[in-house]
Structure 1
Amino acid sequence: MTERRAYPSDLSDARWALIAPRLTAWRQARTDARTALGIKGRTPIHDLREIFNAILYVNRTGIAWRYLPHDFPPRATVYGYIALWNKEGIFTELNYHLTGLVRDHHGRTIEPTASIMDTQSVKTSTNVPTGTQGIDAGKKIVGRKRGIITDTLGLLLAVIVTAASVSDNAIGNDLLNQATTIHPALTKTWVDAGFKVKTVEHGATLGIDVEIVTKDPQVKGFSVVKRRWVIERTIGWLMQHRRLVRDYETLPGNSASMITMAMIDNLARRLTDETTPTWRDAQTT
């Protein structure tokens, strides 16, 4: 890795050790595939750790790609790796692997059986194509909608990003399909009242009991809602990554990858007992 001053978002040696095997294997597999076909490609010159650090930097700080510091690999190179890793499911694989390690660390089975599902509508930046946006009439937001499903620890199991106009039911059905493909042991999920009968019925066809949890109508103002508070906390974790406060990505798939990257960062820090710096932390000089 090129010697430079470390950024707060950089991977520590311990966290890189959790991620390096999969990325190294991915690069070697691509090299072997080209060799088998007799294709002579250029030897990669950029360090995988530095590429990953660059993605984390953008994710954590929320800067535009053109402002990526010059001591990282070129922004076009980093963005190209994001596209490849997104297409080949590398982010999903890393999240799956680290989620299993965290669950084991907490004394849980590797495969979750229960989950919580929710959606979040966010505004988009001016560069986002209008064809991938929509209006969430209920929340009066023009932008995109994120659908996430977590386990009972709040760890991300699946994510989908759509136009904000897409119904919670449609997102819920797709999320359940995705989550059960990755985590076939799932048998239960809790949702809010935004999900209707269609999601409950679709869950039943997949062998999942979908339970709608509503707020106590007698309680006014804020209150902690059973089960659903877990996923609300997860959304709070994700919002510590400024790139996610608004949707800046041209492609919805890249938006989903940025959400998964934020969770990968969270999981790796949990496993190494490192905290995520926030604006409240004391600043050092």
Structure 2
Amino acid sequence: MPRRRPYPSGLSDARWELIEPTVTAWRAERRGRGLDIGRPPEHDLRRIMDAILHVDRTGIPWRYLPHDFAPWETVYGYFAAWQKDGVFDQLNGLLRRLVREREGRDAEPSACMLDAQSVKTSANVPAAGQGTDAGKKIAGRKRHIGVDTLGLLLAIWVTAASISDNAGGIHVLDRIASSHPRVTKAWSDTGYRTKVIDHGASLGIDVEVVRKDPAEKGFKVIPRRWVVERTFGWLMHHRRLARDYETHPHRSEAMINLAMVDLISRRLTRESTLNWRDT
């Protein structure tokens, strides 16, 4: 049988070596719990991951997956199961620690940056899960994130766009404090006010608002804040994130975690992340 021609979104052998142990352990654990009793699995996990990355990278609907992948229902079933079982969170955490260690940092961060991004939604997103960001005049959803000083994702919370940055910041800080207890410092923009600062203090995290100098004219790179803005730019290499296409917010969070897994694994293997201007 001729070897399939790979898609640019697919995993290289080196990247698959980073991801394979986690998804293989997931399958073994399910079989250990009696959830996959019967005939041996017929779908190769690498091809399933390639298919999910193809959706995330190109932005196509699940039903439009090329036919040389497994049926779209099967691929989506794996995506939903991996989201529910925290596989994308595990991969993101594992690869983030590897990157930090290679950069000469401690595996666990001690500082973070907070920010939020409002995006429009597609027609399949329920109206109850949407809102309007009055400041940016965007109707849709909002992505509240926390990243480390390298711009690597620590926490994500997807809400209606009407949820304030303060409320999102409080929730993200709770997630960071729970998963990354070494974090004692956070930087944010002026959208995060007294409530976030007070809540951070209650968690042992010093939240500092970084303001632009009012005397400066035009565009200026703002210290600390540029790191998290760059992370949003990285994520936009994935067309599935140009809008929010997911019916459920937790699926949106999974797509963002998956995009970060794609980016970090390329960073570890020194593979470039092509953008849409590349030929």
Matched, 1:88 2:79: no
SS of the residue aligned with 2:251?
helix
**Mapped contact 1:133–1:163 kept (Cα < 8 A):** yes
* Structure 1 unmatched ranges of 5 or more: none
**Is residue 139 of structure 1 aligned with residue 136 of structure 2?**
yes
Partner of 1:5: 5
Distance of 1:13 and 1:107 partners within structure 2: 25
- Is structure 2 residue 30 aligned with structure 1 residue 30? yes
Q: What amino acid is the match of 1:237?
A: W
C-alpha RMSD of the superposition: 1.4
Residue 173 in 1 paired to residue 183 in 2? no
- Distance in structure 2 (CA, Å) of the matches to 1:67 and 1:189: 41
For 1:24, give the aligned amino acid.
T
Aligned counterparts of 2:37 and 2:253: Cα–Cα separation in 1:
33
Conserved? CA contact 1:34–1:41, under 8 Å: no
TM-score by length of 1: 0.95
Runs of 4+ in 1 over 4 A off after TM superposition: none
Describe the shift of the 1:236–1:2 C-alpha distance in structure 2 as closer, same or farther (beyond 3 A): farther
1:108 partnered with 2:105: yes
Q: Could you list the runs of 5+ residues in structure 2 that have no partner in the other structure?
A: none
- Paired residue secondary structure (1:230): helix
Give 1:19 shift: 0.3
The 3-state SS of whatever aligns with 1:34 is coil
Distance 2:177 2:94 in 1: 16
Q: Are residues 244 and 225 of structure 1, via their aligned partners in 2, closer, same or farther at CA, if it must alter by over 3 Å? A: same
Kept in 1, the 8 Å contact 2:31–2:37? The answer is no
Between the two proteins, the alignment pairs up a number of residues equal to 279
| Aligned counterpart, 2:269 | 272
Q: What is the identity percentage for the equivalent residue pairs of Structure 1 and Structure 2?
A: 61
- Aligned equivalents of 2:103 and 2:273: distance in 1? 19
How is 1:1-285 mapped onto 2 (pairs within 5 angstroms)?
Answer: 3-34=3-34, 40-282=37-279
TM-score, structure 2 length as denominator? 0.97
Hey, what's the Cα distance between the residues in 1 that align with 2:28 and 2:152? 30
1:139 match: secondary structure = coil
Q: Post-superposition shift, 1:2? A: 8.8
Offset from partner CA, 1:58-111 (integer Å, 9 cap, x none): 111111111110011111111111111111111111100000000001000000
The separation in 2 between residues aligned to 1:222 and 1:256, in whole angstroms, is 30
SS at match of 1:91: helix
